[in-house]
Structure 1
Amino acid sequence: MNFEHSELSQQYLDKVSEFMQTKVLPKEAEILAQNRKINEHGDWRQWQVPTAAKALKQEAKAAGLWNLFLPDSELAQGLSCVDYAPLAEAMGHSLIAPDIFNCNAPDTGNMEVLYHFGSKAQQEQWLKPLLSGEIRSVFGMTEPDVASSDATNMAATIEDAGNDVIVNGRKWWTTGLGHPDAKVAIVMGLSNPDAEKHQRHSMVLVPLDSQGLTIDRMLRAYGDYDAPYGHGEMTLDNVRVPKENVIMGLGKGFAIAQGRLGPGRIHHCMRAIGAAERALKLMIERGQQRVAFGKPTIKLGGNLERVAQARMMIDQARLLTLNAAWKIDNLGVKQAMTEISAIKVVVPNMLQQVVDMALQVHGGGGMCDDFPLAGFAAMARSLRLADGPDEVHMGMVSRLELAKYKPKQR
């Protein structure tokens, strides 16, 4: 396995890193402050994208630093998972950066679904405007009334109605639902109840202005609405859409999800590694600058050991993630299931530990908005649920491991 950056990847990494240092980070505090002001607004329908963020997106697009996640040389830059991984890490240094490069979730996953599984008509109507940044999208999977850690529990229904399908159900923690440019949801629901367990569900494109679709509220995550994206709850009450909006056909939902979540987990994890690198940097800088009891705080209370622990954990997590990316590129998602599940446990837990170390060194400063650490802490804890809880991923790893030692049939 070779994790060395390709020439193409290195070229883009240099450009992304420079853009981050000269454009994004200098504007980070301003944009985050505007987002917090938006958060204070009681009506999510009044949310707007900060002007500075819009300007940065146009600059990134003009510089060719756009849709870097998509492995297509015509629609994007043709980068593999391994090639894109260091770019995602560079973007992870700031909570606002992925959006600036049109590389933010859930849009990246939705674009990958449409790219790999969408019909020509679906790609024309939805993929192209998503790639251009004209619209945003959401992914409706998690539900409030069932244990969504088991996705087969999904209670929302997609009923075959001749030329149409009718969608009913409730979805929540639907990221991006409050964004002013959000136009379409990919909704997953039960369509074939009598089929085999993983062939019962489908994914369908539902325009957010469809009759019967109601956005009920935005949910606070650790006290934050995460404006202008938001995490919303929506009700679908006899929402009728053309059957052409079903992606790949009824009963294909889990097959699509497996393809969607593989590369997307690489993206999440590499961004988290970037956040951990920045947290470690801030920890060291703060510890060297502040003095207590006659010494720099970095030399007090076991902090030097924590620096070493952070360095080792970050590098281990990066290698594990690159290993998963290499397997996806060279062997396919199905042959990388152990590694994909493993990184979804290892990396968010690593980020949570590293950020907690950095918070401790920052004292009260780490708890407020003067530093990005509180945001990173919320990100880390959220990631341990967002793509499924740790226990589900560890269950997958253990099943695959036990299968290697299954007794041979005599």
Structure 2
Amino acid sequence: MDFTLSDRETHFRDRVKTFIDKEVRPRVADYAAEFPPEDRWGTSEVLEELKAKAKTAGLWNFFMPPHSGQKHVDESFEFEGEQLTNLEYALCAEEMGRVGLSSECFNCSAPDTGNMEVLHRYGTLEQKEQWLRPLMNGEIRSAFLMTEPAVASSDATNIETRMERDGDEYVINGRKWWSSGLGDPRCKVAIVMGKTNPDAHRHSQQSQILMPVDAEGVNIIRHLPVFGYDDAPHGHMEVELKDVRVPVTNLLLGEGQGFAIAQGRLGPGRIHHCMRTIGVAEDALEKMCKRLQSRVAFGKTIADHSIWEWRVAKARIDIEMNRLLCLKAADMMDRAGNKSARNEIAMIKVSAPTMALKIIDDAIQAFGGAGVTTDPGLAKAYSGQRTLRLADGPDEVHARAVARWEFGRHAPLDDDGAMSSGDLGVTR
């Protein structure tokens, strides 16, 4: 098994790392200063400057899947980025994870990445022209409205938002929350998931539709802070949809296809989060090591107290294991497709945030009282990783999928000697 990176993999990874170190890191404080307490929901000149530089350098839209080389007969152009594979993108995303601001500098931040992939895969040419082009150009931002406060949205079939057809329009009624990105003034469109036919099979009741966020009846109720952080100007909103009218032509793929679209969207999105999580963990470990070797307690550096040798060594071991699993999942996606890699994606989705949380927690301990302040950035990193254990499906859902797959592999034999998985609903 050859773990040597290709020239192309190192080329993009190193270019991204260099850009972050030279251009993004020095501007993090400037970016934060643009959002004082009295004005948290504006736009950033610093970010637009960085985006322009990244775009000029060809460091843009890394996440878009490589095209097949064939255009649709009606398309006069192709919507594409740098054509990186999942494995190539994983190495770049890890670097982005070290500095939270950097993902958007390369137009690679959620939920836009997932929404652009949905439009790329399922959108009509007209939908792509209207929404995908400006998203890929970094001119607007978007939101994804799926989760609801009234139901357990980890089971997407629970979704209650209704989308009822009325002539040439769908009328949307419901309430969504954790609508990330909806607080950004640049957010112009949202993909909404709701039920178009509640009497159909449970996985065919839902559809997805493109909704302009300035449509009449879209009412933001409140913004939801995460451990006290508002994540402005991005934000996470609770929103009421009251008799919102959207043209039928805004429907994605067709009625009853919402669940299939969601599965296709969330798979890559889950691993993108995990790729960045490796970078978050690396950054926390670096901060921890520097702190341990610079602070003196009881006559010696904190690093010389034996407990810290174990914690640092364990952190390095855990990062390496999770990186390998993440790269394996990305490679499987490239070679065999997202569906074939679903178990690897589920495993890294459970493992990576838990790993990062432990390392961040140890880093906070190393910093002492300073660790729980905003100064080293560890508290915010902790809040993000703790939230990730719920985002794109909670740990329990992904662990259940892995366990059921494993049970299927070792199902007992029936009387005829055939494998039987009983009521597990799994296949070999």
Please tell me the TM-score bracket, short chain as reference.
Answer: over 0.9
Runs of 4+ in 1 over 6 A off after TM superposition: none
In the alignment, residue 17 of structure 1 is paired with which amino acid?
A: K
How far residue 30 of structure 1 moved from its aligned partner, in angstroms, is: 2.5
Alignment of 1:142-221 (within 5 A): 142-221=147-226
Alignment of 1:7 onto 2:7: yes
Equivalent residue, structure 2, for 1:22: 22
* Structure having the larger proportion of residues in helix: 1
- Determine which structure has more spread, i.e. the larger CA radius of gyration: 2
Equivalent residue, structure 2, for 1:278: 283
How far residue 109 of structure 1 moved from its aligned partner, in angstroms, is: 0.4
In the alignment, residue 15 of structure 1 is paired with which amino acid?
A: R
How far residue 33 of structure 1 moved from its aligned partner, in angstroms, is: 3.9
CA-to-aligned-CA distance 1:259-308 (integer Å, 9 cap, x gap): 11121112110101001001100100010011111111122261110000
Equivalent-residue separation in structure 2 for 1:120 and 1:6 (angstroms): 35
Equivalent residue, structure 1, for 2:236: 231
Alignment of 1:334 onto 2:339: yes
CA contact (8 A) 2:62 2:108 kept: yes
CA contact (8 A) 2:61 2:82 kept: yes
In the alignment, residue 63 of structure 2 is paired with which amino acid?
A: F
Higher relative contact order (CA 8 A, sep 6+): 1
How far residue 12 of structure 1 moved from its aligned partner, in angstroms, is: 1.2
In the alignment, residue 61 of structure 2 is paired with which amino acid?
A: N
Equivalent-residue separation in structure 1 for 2:152 and 2:395 (angstroms): 14
In the alignment, residue 81 of structure 1 is paired with which amino acid?
A: N
CA contact (8 A) 2:156 2:259 kept: no
Cα RMSD for the two superposed structures: 1.5
CA contact (8 A) 2:373 2:379 kept: yes
Which sections of structure 1, spanning at least 5 residues, go unmatched? none
* Secondary structure at 2:9 match in 1: helix
CA-to-aligned-CA distance 1:216-242 (integer Å, 9 cap, x gap): 221111111100100001111111111
How far residue 215 of structure 1 moved from its aligned partner, in angstroms, is: 1.4
How far residue 143 of structure 1 moved from its aligned partner, in angstroms, is: 0.5
Equivalent residue, structure 2, for 1:351: 356
CA contact (8 A) 1:188 1:203 kept: yes
Equivalent-residue separation in structure 2 for 1:66 and 1:406 (angstroms): 47
How far residue 319 of structure 1 moved from its aligned partner, in angstroms, is: 0.8
In the alignment, residue 5 of structure 2 is paired with which amino acid?
A: H
Equivalent-residue separation in structure 2 for 1:10 and 1:222 (angstroms): 36
Q: Which shifted more, 52-61 or 67-76?
A: 67-76
Alignment of 1:90 onto 2:84: no
In the alignment, residue 350 of structure 1 is paired with which amino acid?
A: M
Equivalent residue, structure 2, for 1:31: 31
Which sections of structure 2, spanning at least 5 residues, go unmatched? 68-77, 417-428
CA-to-aligned-CA distance 1:7-28 (integer Å, 9 cap, x gap): 2222111111101111111111
CA contact (8 A) 2:219 2:241 kept: yes
Give the number of equivalent residue pairs: 404
Alignment of 1:53 onto 2:43: no
Equivalent residue, structure 1, for 2:383: 378
How far residue 363 of structure 1 moved from its aligned partner, in angstroms, is: 1.0
Equivalent-residue separation in structure 2 for 1:70 and 1:2 (angstroms): 26
In the alignment, residue 5 of structure 1 is paired with which amino acid?
A: L
CA contact (8 A) 1:5 1:83 kept: no
CA contact (8 A) 1:298 1:361 kept: no
In the alignment, residue 385 of structure 1 is paired with which amino acid?
A: L
In the alignment, residue 135 of structure 1 is paired with which amino acid?
A: I
Equivalent-residue separation in structure 2 for 1:177 and 1:195 (angstroms): 31
Alignment of 1:65 onto 2:65: no
In the alignment, residue 60 of structure 1 is paired with which amino acid?
A: A
CA contact (8 A) 1:262 1:328 kept: no
Equivalent-residue separation in structure 1 for 2:283 and 2:367 (angstroms): 13
Equivalent residue, structure 1, for 2:373: 368
In the alignment, residue 18 of structure 1 is paired with which amino acid?
A: T
How far residue 253 of structure 1 moved from its aligned partner, in angstroms, is: 0.9
Identity %: 49
In structure 2, relative to structure 1, the CA distance for the partners of 1:159 and 1:406 (3 Å cut) is farther
In the alignment, residue 59 of structure 1 is paired with which amino acid?
A: K
Q: Which shifted more, 354-363 or 214-223?
A: 214-223
In structure 2, relative to structure 1, the CA distance for the partners of 1:82 and 1:2 (3 Å cut) is farther
CA contact (8 A) 1:6 1:83 kept: no
Equivalent residue, structure 2, for 1:392: 397
CA contact (8 A) 2:163 2:173 kept: yes
Equivalent residue, structure 2, for 1:41: 38
